[in-house]
Structure 1
Amino acid sequence: MVEKIKVLLIEDDPMVQEVNKEFITSVEGFVVEAVAGNGEEGIQLVKKMQPDLIILDVFMPKKDGIKTLQELRKQKINADVIVVSAAKDKETIKLMLQNGAMDYILKPFKFSRIKQALEKYRQYRESLKESGTMSQEQLDLLLYTENAQKGGENLPKGLNDFTLKEVITFLREQVKPRSAEEVANSIGIARVTARRYLDYLEKTSVIKLDVQYGGVGRPVNRYVMNK
């Protein structure tokens, strides 16, 4: 069952509110539980509803996005933030990132971009949900995805972030372990290619091998996410 992620949308333009709300709720697991028209109203709603994620604009009346985010951090409110704004000057972008914004999406944007941001956020939450430790390889996989500065330099030659994320997303949605052939068929790649990605994910302890012995013939290697 996909985790329900509570979202608060802070955006002053009613038309943009509706578009963003529709985009967010189109991504499985994300629910917009409240909408605020400015930063002051947003901060009050955050305290009341305790969202997991805040989608925050910058240009707003009463309290803009910069002051809103700074106030959230000052009050030590435990909510993650993704910025969606027309503000493209480097100073604003730097301030928002310094204050803990996890992503920054420039208006106008396509659905694919916010979908990518939300899926990356879900992966981040799932990776850090349980207690324990992480290897450097697992941490790199979490931090350096398609839009990260490294752009996949941490991956072995011949592998790319986009396909890697597709493989991970598929396996996260599975209840039972899956074979390389099943992974390949589900995302439309060759079985030998799927095997390379699965081998990499197994070596970095993101997934684990589940060897299944049937009747006649060789055992089948299947893979499942590491909990």
Structure 2
Amino acid sequence: MNKIKVLIIEDDPMVAEFNKSYVKQIGHPFTVIGSCFTEEQALEIVKTNTPDLILLDIYLPNGNEINLLKTIRKHNFLLDVIIITAAKDSATVQEALRYGAVDFLIKPFGFKRFKQSLLNYSRLKKIIDSEEQIKQIDLDSRFELLEINNNSFLPKGVHLPTLKLINDYLYEQTSPKSCKEISEELSMSRITTWRYLEYLVKEGMVSVSLEYGIGRPTKMYKLK
């Protein structure tokens, strides 16, 4: 997956550094291209070095609540925004979501929630960028809209938690993996792992190739 360029817009330098260190801890595919403290600085960076993702504090000096988000949408900049704020009133949240914020982090928050937000974004972006036609299962697994025990859309013997476990494992891999490698990493039986992998192949979510060596060729699986 290509790098995701992140711009941090935060009026508190200490908080900005914390957020920058959080992004660095997460690592690939995220890279921080800069940080700024005012609406004017932010617009200049967006115009000259368009980021993929902005981490935006909606209360900035010389700015009025979510004016920057409105301006970004007005000029049709092709980027996404995660709102970071101490504001808890529902009107602010509703307005931010109305203008296309992909997530909303309320201060104070921990690294776990921050990481979850960015990884959810990167996974959804990967699906949207790589697929001409989006499958419902892709969106459901990313937005976690389905209850964990609701498997009505899956064939008998295939369960959503296990499917997500394998799918998420493959997402983190940079090279194809064999059924044996995956089953050992996830502490699952090889036959169960194989059944889920073949289902993902059938659904067009995973590609399979053959690796030749001594004896029979080995099937290698990779998330598309």
The answer to whether structure 1 residue 221 and structure 2 residue 222 are counterparts is no
Consecutive unaligned residues of structure 2, counting only runs of 5 or more, are none
> Structure 1 residues 78 and 65 mapped into 2: Cα distance closer, same or farther (>3 Å)?
farther
- For 1:39-54, what aligned pairs fall within 5 Å after superposition? 39-54=39-54
Determine the structure 1 residue equivalent to 2:30. Answer: 30
CA distance in 2, matches of 1:200, 1:65: 47
Aligned counterpart, 1:144: 140
Task: Tell me how far apart the structure 2 counterparts of residues 68 and 7 of structure 1 sit (CA, whole Å).
Answer: 16
Corresponding position of 1:17: 16
Instruction: Give distance in 1, aligned partners of 2:65 and 2:201.
Output: 41
Matching residue's letter, 2:141: T
- Residue 68 of structure 1 and its aligned partner are, at CA, apart by 1.0
The answer to whether 1:170 aligns with 2:177 is no
- Residue 214 of structure 1: how far off its partner (Å): 5.0
Deviates more, 1:70-79 or 1:191-200: 191-200
The structure-2 alpha-carbon separation of the partners of 1:75 and 1:144, relative to structure 1 and needing over 3 Å to count, comes to same
Q: 1:99 to 1:184 in 2, by over 3 A?
A: same
Q: Which moved more, 1:47-56 or 1:84-93?
A: 84-93
| Percent of aligned pairs with the same amino acid | 33
Q: Name the CA shift for 1:4/1:114 in 2 (closer, same or farther; >3 Å).
A: same
> Structure 1 CA distance, aligned partners of 2:142 and 2:222?
23
CA deviation after TM superposition for structure 1 residue 29, in Å = 2.6
Separation in structure 2 between the aligned mates of residue 183 and residue 59 of structure 1, nearest angstrom: 46
Is contact 1:144-1:151 (8 Å) kept?
A: no
Distance 1:56 1:201 in 2: 36
Distance (whole Å) between structure 2 residues aligned to residue 147 and residue 88 of structure 1: 22
Instruction: State the alpha-carbon separation in 1 of the partners of residues 187 and 83 from structure 2.
Output: 33
TM-score by length of 2: 0.82
User: Is contact 1:170-1:183 (8 Å) kept?
Assistant: no
Q: Which runs of 4+ in 1 moved over 6 A?
A: none
Residue 12 of structure 1 contacts residue 36 of structure 1 at CA under 8 Å; is this kept in 2?
yes
How far apart, in 2, do the equivalents of 1:65 and 1:192 lie? Answer: 54
Assess if the C-alpha contact under 8 Å between 2:5 and 2:32 holds in 1: yes
Q: Which residue of 1 aligns with 2:124?
A: 124
Q: Which amino acid in structure 1 is aligned with residue 218 of structure 2? A: V
TM-score of the superposed pair, with normalisation by structure 1: 0.81
Distance 2:190 2:88 in 1: 42
CA, structure 1 residues 215+44, in 2 after alignment: closer, same or farther (shift >3 Å)? closer
Letter in 1 for 2:10: E
* d(CA) in 2 for partners of 1:30, 1:135: 23
**How many pairs were matched up?**
217
Equivalent residue of 1:112, what SS? helix
Match of 1:76 in 2: 76
Q: 1:145 to 1:55 in 2, by over 3 A?
A: farther
Displacement, 1:146?
5.5
- 8 Å CA contact 1:38–1:64 kept in 2: the answer is no
1:63 matches 2:59: no
Worse overlay, 191-200 or 68-77: 191-200
Residue 16 (structure 1) shift: 0.8
Structure 1: tracts of 5 or more residues without a match: none
